[in-house]
Amino acid sequence: MTKISEIWIDADKCMRCANCLASCPVLTTAGFSAFPGPRNVMGEAPRPFEEIDATRDLFHLCTTCGHCREVCPSGINTPQAMSLLREAVAKKGYEDFYIQAAAKSTMKFKNPYTKEQIERCEWSKGFQFSKTSNILFYAGCTYSFNYPEVLKSTIDILQRADIEVQYLQEKEECCGIMLYDGGYLEEFQAQVKTNIKRFEEAGIDLLVTPCPGCYGMIKREYSKFADYNFRVQHFTEFLIELINQGKLKLKDYNATVTWHDPCHLSRKMRIFDEPRQIIESIPGLTFKEMPNTKYDSFCCGAGGAVLASRADVSIKLAKRRVSEAVNIGANIILTMCPACESILEKAIRYLAWEDMDDEDEEDFDLSDSRVKLMDLSTLISQCIA
């Protein structure tokens, strides 16, 4: 694991080119007064912590989207630096209230939503899961508690392709992403060990998850703390294999759609092609790309625990992203990330309100908005012939 002392060595590579400032979604959307950008925030870090009391919140305004890393000619890993800086800030007692609450909930309830674990698997009632399959389905906290219908669509796809999976039910625990993003790295390591032990006890060869955050944590970050003997795939990787193998036949769907690249899936894990191949396999769809895609995809604003800490900043970023979809004439924004879906849905609602006359407010119906959001699993489930 990188140590905080190594950040200063990394930061010394800065060429002062300002590429990171021009690419930062928070800076370019919320303004310099809200967040002065990666280069300037990291410039604060070497100062004694008692001198940065007024600016400590800056460390919690980075969405860790990674766009700055893509455009940095020196290759400075700013998202990783932010997690380490948050750890140092938290150890000095400068904890963000909302991030702290989510982290404590993760430690106590095994999810960031202060929900009992028995509620995690309510969505799975009516489905039969294998006890011996070498494939484990990892649902994740946000899908389980906030988007249960998406999980039902996901399992429906698997069952219609005759794929059996294990599911840990209430024994499934959080991947620890809020601990990691909040700088609670010791607690994150403990969660890693607990989860890996549980996964290996299941005797699996493959773990599949629809959540990009969980996918990135388990595939990339877990390997920094412990060895494990199973593969990890995002559901889009698994799904395109099923389609290419002829295990799913898809029927026409008439709509103009675009794809929002979740930062955890695209820049962080390099999953660009699979979602687009899935979309293009659906007959009748018109697929349009937004101006900012793949490596240059615009962050939805929910990452890095910013949605928990500064929802006002998150919604500004999300409204900008939705406007991109509206401007290209898309009817549907497709994605597969519960965090993205949460904030983009809010942005669609707010933009629809802004388009309304005051006298029409009581008759507001989200279905009347110019664009709607749909999880890719939901669409595929509807398109299976």
* Tokens linked to 47: 């100062």
> % helix / strand / coil in the chain, to the nearest 5?
55, 10, 35
Packing angle between helix 376-383 and helix 273-280, nearest 10 degrees?
30
Distance from first CA to last CA of the chain, Å, rounded?
A: 47
β-pairing, 332-335 vs 206-209, is unpaired
* pLDDT per position as a tens digit, 115-140: 999 999 999 999 999 999 999 999 99
- Which domains are seen in the chain, by residue range? 4-94 (1.10.1060.10), 106-243 (3.40.50), 248-383 (3.40.50.1860)
Q: Where are the beta strands (DSSP E) in the chain?
A: 135-137, 206-209, 231-234, 255-259, 285-287, 332-335, 372-375
Whether pLDDT at 98 is above 90: no
Residue among 196, 194, 174 at smallest CA distance from 102: 174
pLDDT of residue 279: 98
Name the average pLDDT for the chain.
Answer: 89
* Tokens linked to 123: 């969505």
* pLDDT per position as a tens digit, 200-255: 999 999 999 999 999 999 999 999 888 999 999 999 999 999 999 999 999 999 99
> Cα(191)–Cα(210) distance, rounded to whole angstroms?
20
* pLDDT per position as a tens digit, 135-156: 999 999 999 999 999 999 999 9
Phi, psi of 305 (to 5 degrees): 65, 15
pLDDT band at 54 (very low <50, low <70, confident <90, very high): very low
